[in-house]
Amino acid sequence: MDRLQGVACPRLSRRLVVVGLACLALLAAALPAVASAARPGKAAIAAAHPLAVAAGEEVLAGGGNAFDAAVAVSAALAVVEPYASGLGGGGFWLLHLARGDRDVFIDGRETAPGAASATMYLDSGGQVIKGATLDGPLAAGIPGEPAALVHMAKRYGRLPLARSLAPAIRLAAEGIPVHERLQMGLRFRRKAMERSPALMAVFYPGGEAPAAGSLLRQPELAATLRRLAAGGFDGFYRGPTAAALVEGVRAGGGIWSPEDLAGYRVVEREPVRGRYRGVRITSAPLPSAGGIGLVDMLNILSGYDLGRLDPATRKHLIIEAMRRAYRDRSLYLGDPAFSQPPVEQLLSPFYAAGQRTSIRLDRATPSEVLAAAPADGSAGQDTTHFSILDAEGNRVAGTLSINTWYGSAFMPPGTGVLLNNEMDDFTVKPGTANAYDLLGAAANDIAPGKRMLSSMTPTFLESDRGVAILGTPGGSRIITMVLLAALDWVDGGDARSMVALRRFHHQFYPDVVEYESGAFTDAEIKALEALGHRLELGTRAYGNMNVITWDYATGRVGAASDPRSAGEAQVY
């Protein structure tokens, strides 16, 4: 071997003993990096609930790989965080296959039912019917998560699906301790839930909200999971589960058909890729706006030496990059099967250079000065994210959702499945913002079979230093959270600093910088306001990021769960 990790070695000869020894020393120094880059030798899981982490650990310990663990963690999250994701929702799973050094993006996003139409949420006067996109079964897209779990287990897992679903089945059948977030969501969504007796029976047993620490059993969900484990795709999308879902939805005023379920398909997509200061970014493609937004922002920022700027100017530029990327999101993005968003242009460094010409160092750009956007958009506040690394170097970044807290607050009787309200992520009417104040365009209007635009941004960062696996829930703020964490990693941050850093967010409209307490110093607030930014201190902390890092040089695997919530991160 003449070259290893960039170390050039002349051939050894007697006359070059000294050079040879020096060369061997260099090789020895280089070897550990090569070995650790090939295989971490350790596994890690970071997720929003300790029982979901335990489910993944059980499957890893039973001989599963990261993909089996991802099935186990996803299914367990459906049981322990029923307000955030589940079989009645969808998600994106970004996989890295160590063998073959390949990335795969699994799109298990919900689709609009076959009877859906662009005007389905408008009254006869053309106004949006209040609550129609959020509450009840008319708000629900056709779920993609069950199909994605079957697909991931079959194509990439090592264990049978039933083995990976076993921990979730046990949790649903035996019960989980009621925790604070679960209770908080129940209080918040009670009114909408009262219209779904099946759901009330599970979450308000005997008519009362369950006490903290009491056991919450979900026997019908356990039965649905068992049918999925036994029958795979058909165990959910055909047969008794499908029949109960369709019957319940239609009886509740929804429009699903058996064909909608039987016709659901997972899509494997090429991830979005970008580069920023020597870091390779691999992230979510359409129908998520996440990867495009992330790369667009980083491309804009790559024109500045952020490290040399004073902190207020640095933050001003980050805000201006956010503003422009969210403008593009609202103008152009939607399901690529239904329109041709200009993805190549949005990802081009030349486009970013053009965007930079409109950025002034001495003044915020009012959003209204940039070309006006038609309105409405997408993203889920109560979504969930987990990160997994296995000992062989396989990785998963999974972000899953039923959209807002407890989704549509509707459960078809006999299924235990809480349905999403992801239809709100479509552009329901141009000029009307969605639950997350996002704007959208015709590219994201409703059509049968179409996938609604998402903000979920499961992401890998990779450089000579190592790898970071990250993502978060947080609605429209997901993409800016991932941006800030990525900038932190580029600056030498680790898993712990990435999840903990104080966040700020701008999404084009409303023309406001929302920030967490501590995101800006008093001096920065003054400086940013002097530039013309409107700052608003958020009422509460947001996000629930889960990050795993693997350092090639030291072999160290780090994992951290957001201190704002009750998740867990473990290295094995």
Chosen residue from 111, 299, 355, 401 binding ligand GLY by CB under 6 A: 401
Nearer to ligand GLY, 248 or 380 (CB): 380
Residue 7 phi/psi, 5° resolution? -95, 110
Nearer to ligand GLY, 378 or 544 (CB): 378
313 vs 533: CA distance, rounded Å: 12
Residues recognised as catalytic: 383
Tokens in use for 221?
Answer: 């969900």
Task: Report in angstroms how near the CB of residue 82 gets to ligand GLY at its nearest.
Answer: 16
The answer to whether residue 403 forms part of the interface with ligand GLY (CB under 6 A) is yes
Chosen residue from 224, 365, 455, 507 binding ligand GLY by CB under 6 A: 455
Nearer to ligand GLY, 74 or 383 (CB): 383
SS3 462: strand
SS3 readout for 356-425 = HHCCECCECCCHHHCCCCCCCCCCCCCEEEEEEECCCCCEEEEEEECCCCCCCCCCCCCCCCCCCCHHHH
Partner residues linked to 59 by β-bridges = none
Task: Report in angstroms how near the CB of residue 570 gets to ligand GLY at its nearest.
Answer: 26
Chosen residue from 456, 470, 479, 482 binding ligand GLY by CB under 6 A: 456
State yes or no: cis peptide before 219, omega within 30 of 0: no
Which one of 11-19, 93-101, 168-176, 454-462 is the stretch in contact with ligand GLY (CB under 6 A)? Answer: 454-462
Report the first-to-last Cα separation within the chain, whole angstroms.
34
Task: Report in angstroms how near the CB of residue 409 gets to ligand GLY at its nearest.
Answer: 15
Nearer to ligand GLY, 306 or 435 (CB): 435
Task: Report in angstroms how near the CB of residue 163 gets to ligand GLY at its nearest.
Answer: 29
Nearer to ligand GLY, 314 or 450 (CB): 450
Residues near ligand GLY (CB under 6 A), total: 11
- To the nearest 10 degrees (0 to 180), the angle between helices 145-156 and 66-80 is 160
Task: Report in angstroms how near the CB of residue 514 gets to ligand GLY at its nearest.
Answer: 17
Strands 176-177 and 215-216: antiparallel
Nearer to ligand GLY, 383 or 444 (CB): 383
Task: Report in angstroms how near the CB of residue 188 gets to ligand GLY at its nearest.
Answer: 17
Nearer to ligand GLY, 113 or 466 (CB): 113
Residues 253-312 that bind ligand GLY (CB under 6 A): none
Q: Using CB positions, name the residue nearest to ligand GLY.
A: 380
The answer to whether residue 561 forms part of the interface with ligand GLY (CB under 6 A) is no
Q: Which helix (H) or strand (E) holds 79?
A: helix 66-80
8 vs 10: CA distance, rounded Å: 7
Contact 296, 501 (CB under 8 A): no
Tokens in use for 110?
Answer: 């919900």
**What DSSP designation does 369 have?**
G
Partner residues linked to 132 by β-bridges = none
Task: Report in angstroms how near the CB of residue 326 gets to ligand GLY at its nearest.
Answer: 13
Which one of 135-143, 241-249, 292-300, 453-461 is the stretch in contact with ligand GLY (CB under 6 A)? Answer: 453-461
Task: Report in angstroms how near the CB of residue 534 gets to ligand GLY at its nearest.
Answer: 24
Residue 232 phi/psi, 5° resolution? 60, -140
The one-letter amino acid code at 129 reads: I
Nearer to ligand GLY, 64 or 471 (CB): 471
Contact 546, 561 (CB under 8 A): yes
Residues 358-397 that bind ligand GLY (CB under 6 A): 378-380, 383
Tokens in use for 475?
Answer: 């609605």
Q: Is the dihedral of CA 329, 439, 268, 77 positive or negative?
A: positive
Contact 284, 458 (CB under 8 A): yes
513 vs 290: CA distance, rounded Å: 19
Tokens in use for 111?
Answer: 């689709």
Nearer to ligand GLY, 509 or 550 (CB): 509
The answer to whether residue 408 forms part of the interface with ligand GLY (CB under 6 A) is no
Question: CB-based contacts of 326: which residues, under 8 Å, 6+ apart?
Answer: 293, 438, 476, 479, 506, 507, 508, 509
How many beta carbons lie within 10 A of that of residue 24, not counting itself?
A: 12
Q: Which helix (H) or strand (E) holds 74?
A: helix 66-80
Tokens in use for 130?
Answer: 């209040």
With vertex at residue 338, the alpha carbon angle to CA 335 and CA 339, rounded to the nearest 5 degrees, is: 85
The answer to whether residue 422 forms part of the interface with ligand GLY (CB under 6 A) is yes
Nearer to ligand GLY, 380 or 471 (CB): 380
Contact 498, 468 (CB under 8 A): yes
Q: Which residues bind ligand GLY (CB under 6 A)?
A: 378-380, 383, 401, 403, 422, 425, 454-456
